[in-house]
Structure 1
Amino acid sequence: MRLAVVVPVSPFEDEEIIRRSIEHLKSLDYDDFEVRFVYVIDSNGKDDRRAELAEKLGAEVVFRKDRRGKRAGAINDAIKRLSSFKPDYVAIFDVDSRPEKNFVVECVKALEGCEDCYIASTKRYISNPINLVTETVEAEYYLINFLLGKSRFRQFNGLIGVLRAKFLMEEGLNEWAVAEDADFATRMHAKGRRAILVRTSKIYEQSPLTWKDLYNQRKRWYYGGLQLWRYRKEMRKAPWGVRLSWYMALTLTFIPILFLPLLLLSPLLLIYHFRRLSKVKVTLGLFIHTIMLQYAAVRALFSFVRKREVEWEAMQRVVE
């Protein structure tokens, strides 16, 4: 089988992050697959040597001098590059993605047993819990992982996982969509295709380091969620459970302030999950996070009504 590994790289990512990404992804178990690594690097201006570095480390590079379509455009350009390779599967990662060694093999195995499944991925965890912001997101991910296991509408952030290539290459990503991952997931579910949650592996990724970065990220997610309402007619064809999960994702997430009373239970839940008394402080982070999410949702709604798109901004990272 042929497998392509695609990693879109924004202008804001530095050389060391790219180096660590390539080294980690190349160390994964790929069984006997024929594998190609494609890094789509958006230029950061003069003297950008990141493409040269990636090629030295054994990755193919699609170097873009503009940011057409942002992340969606980068993935679409990778798909074009791979047209002659004709992969069976495409694994999509971000530069901060750190999947476990068996991630790809386990995801492919799951897809081999489900012909109408378009993606397989795993629960995700935070790799940089170093301050209150990142520890708060770490705790939030436990809720997200729980919902992934229960929801009939499964949307893996960033489409990070292994996708069946024919679905991705036939449909492509909508470059106008702010949340191209949720947009693609909605289109796939509307056509009766499914997403598999693989429980035999894990993937780690970085949380934003500051409240400002987290706010900008979530405002963009909320804006992207508002764009999904255009698919309400198409989603009528989806099974009832999928529709219910989709509607809940597009409504309840916009009113997080309603769940503030549940924070009274958070100290006990934090101690139970992490087995550390020091994690109780994350209760404060969850309170701040909830208020921040509500503000981000309102601001995204105003921007959407005024037809003012949100911008992708640089995010601080930890080199790991």
Structure 2
Amino acid sequence: MDLKTTEQTNFRYITYHLLIMAICLLVLLLPGQINSRYYMILGTAVFAGIVFCSARTYLLALFALKKKNTYDKLPDELPRVSLIIPSYNEEAVLERTIPTALAMDYPPDKLELIYVYESACTDRTEQIIQAFASQDSRIKAVRRITQKGGKAAVTNYGLQFATGDIIGIFDADHSLNSDLVRLAVAQLQAPNVKCVRGWCRTINRTHNLVTRLVALERDMVERLCIYGAWRMGGFSTSTGGHAFFQRDVFDEFGTFNEDILTEDIDFSTKLHAAGYQIAVLPQMQSWEEAPTSMRSLVSQRKRWTRGWIQVWRIHATRILKMKKATLFKRIDILISLTCTVISGLFAILIPLKALSALDFRTSCFDENISFMLWLFATTTPGIIAILVWCLGREEEDPSGPEELLLIPLLIPYIIFWFCISWFCLVDEFVLRWPFAYVKTERSEEDRVSAELDTDLVTELTTEDQAVETEEVMEGLEVGLSKSLDT
């Protein structure tokens, strides 16, 4: 799999998609010209899928509102922890994120930070990592000769250098709360828990409208949906940007799949299939950068969505045969993966609504029931957003009431998601379009945005740790400036 910093979308690619979309619309809608009842059946099927997804979202939210389930007993002998941080062209974020990792509230002799950077880096990533490593022995600077790109390949390479009993994996743009490792170590002592992940927050949420919308969406998914799945006994997932694993899972399952785009979801499915649990702790937090432009957001979401579709292709026929997982969990895994796949088909809702405006009947329900169901489905995102905001008030969330002004944009944003899913379906099943790992861009604009949030980064450390980190940073000033000038 190739590694790219920007997505190459040419005229031929767009033309193919437009032609296929036109053909699919003809195939799907033409039978209605023969028998108008067809539109009723098709519209009802799409409608039922959307209502089902809305109902499932409410169910997850209900479980997420239950009292937090934490296992807070640390072992007498703290295990050694290795954090692996793949880094490719991360100059814009490393000087913000490395100090938060160094300020971790965990014994220094029990913690190692493995920064794996690519030889193909075109910025100053290598110099920055080497400068920090020269000042703190906990940092291992590992240079990988780029052959096969993608986050999974880099992470797997880093595993060779990890000596910890617990392996943490983070994206390079994550600033870490100082209690992160302790919370993870405690939760991993719980029976049958082989992985734990927390809540990925957005550090640049106030930068522009795109980052605000992404931050709200991420909070809805992370705080309610993923946490709710864990509390419900369903398909909780790890993420490549923020997760801790017991070391022995890599002996049992091997390393991450390097041939798909979402190796984390694939690995999560394997863990659940073996009967293990992936715990989710909202109080275990790190802070990532959201894409600041629509172009970057589209590239990121296409990577995620096509990756989920690839996981569905691999595991769909095996899920119900996962005898070590409960029947409920197997069904929930199948539903979670399938919803991502079929969400692209929900884009057909747009021409169906146009037909409805032309007095074609597109639902088997009478007008009153249809209205109530549409009201139920279309208000779901707004109600979930309000729930997340209310929870944030209790948990000292940095977001303000202005977040609620974004609620009217959630439905257009979901339709945007449907369109992304459509493109990914066509790429995977029709065009068989070659895929590459398109890294989220970090621009100078992102660097400025991160600098505006330095107060938040400072709050991630205790007072004593902040003093220690400041001393490290002072020692780096001379060495780093010399390295960057060479």
1:188-207 correspondence to structure 2 within 5 Å: 188-207=271-290
| Contact in 1 for aligned 2:291/2:440 (Cα 8 Å) | no
Distance in 1 between residues matched to 2:258 and 2:98, nearest whole Å: 26
1:62-73 correspondence to structure 2 within 5 Å: 62-66=142-146, 68-73=148-153
| Contact in 2 for aligned 1:67/1:73 (Cα 8 Å) | no
Distance in 2 between residues matched to 1:113 and 1:2, nearest whole Å: 17
Q: Name the structure 2 match of 1:227.
A: 310
Change (3 A) 1:67 1:261: farther
| Contact in 1 for aligned 2:144/2:157 (Cα 8 Å) | no
User: How many residues are aligned here?
Assistant: 313
Change (3 A) 1:44 1:244: same
Which moved further from structure 2: 146-155 or 178-187? Answer: 146-155
Q: Name the structure 2 match of 1:80.
A: 160
1:1-320 correspondence to structure 2 within 5 Å: 1-11=79-89, 13-14=90-91, 16-31=92-107, 34-44=110-120, 48-58=123-133, 59-66=139-146, 68-82=148-162, 85=163, 87-114=164-191, 116-130=192-206, 131-144=208-221, 145-151=223-229, 152-158=234-240, 160-170=242-252, 171-229=254-312, 230-235=314-319, 236-237=321-322, 238-253=325-340, 254-255=342-343, 259-260=377-378, 262-263=380-381, 265=383, 272=390, 276-305=400-429, 306-311=431-436, 312-316=438-442, 317=446, 318-320=449-451
1:38 CA drift (Å): 0.8
Question: Could you give the per-residue CA deviations for residues 113-171 of structure 1, whole angstroms, max 9, x where no partner exists?
Answer: 23x32211212221111221111122212321211222121113215121111213542
Distance in 1 between residues matched to 2:307 and 2:82, nearest whole Å: 27
Distance in 1 between residues matched to 2:260 and 2:194, nearest whole Å: 19
1:294 CA drift (Å): 0.8
Distance in 1 between residues matched to 2:246 and 2:105, nearest whole Å: 18
Give 3-state SS (helix, strand or coil) of 1:25's partner.
Answer: helix
Change (3 A) 1:177 1:268: closer
TM-score by length of 1: 0.88
Give 3-state SS (helix, strand or coil) of 1:36's partner.
Answer: strand
Distance in 1 between residues matched to 2:166 and 2:276, nearest whole Å: 16
1:32 CA drift (Å): 6.4
TM-score by length of 2: 0.59
**Code of the aligned partner of 1:308:** W
1:2 CA drift (Å): 1.6
Distance in 1 between residues matched to 2:311 and 2:251, nearest whole Å: 21
Distance in 2 between residues matched to 1:271 and 1:183, nearest whole Å: 31
**Code of the aligned partner of 2:246:** R
Change (3 A) 1:68 1:293: same
**Code of the aligned partner of 1:244:** I
| Contact in 2 for aligned 1:215/1:293 (Cα 8 Å) | no
Structure of higher CA gyration radius: 2
Distance in 2 between residues matched to 1:187 and 1:45, nearest whole Å: 32
1:207 CA drift (Å): 1.3
Distance in 1 between residues matched to 2:382 and 2:99, nearest whole Å: 43
Distance in 1 between residues matched to 2:130 and 2:251, nearest whole Å: 24
**Code of the aligned partner of 1:278:** E
Pick the structure with more helix per residue: 2
1:9 CA drift (Å): 1.0
Give 3-state SS (helix, strand or coil) of 2:257's partner.
Answer: coil
1:269 CA drift (Å): 5.5
Give 3-state SS (helix, strand or coil) of 1:308's partner.
Answer: coil
RMSD: 2.5
Change (3 A) 1:284 1:109: same
| Contact in 2 for aligned 1:76/1:173 (Cα 8 Å) | yes
Pick the structure with more strand per residue: 1
Give 3-state SS (helix, strand or coil) of 2:240's partner.
Answer: helix
Give 3-state SS (helix, strand or coil) of 1:192's partner.
Answer: coil
Where do 5+ consecutive residues of structure 2 fail to align?
A: 1-78, 134-138, 350-376, 394-399, 452-486
Where do 5+ consecutive residues of structure 1 fail to align?
A: none
1:106 CA drift (Å): 0.7
Change (3 A) 1:49 1:307: same
1:272 CA drift (Å): 4.6
Q: Name the structure 1 match of 2:455.
A: none
Distance in 1 between residues matched to 2:201 and 2:86, nearest whole Å: 20
1:241 CA drift (Å): 2.2
Distance in 1 between residues matched to 2:337 and 2:409, nearest whole Å: 24
The structure, 1 or 2, with the larger RCO (C-alpha pairs under 8 Å, 6+ apart) is 2
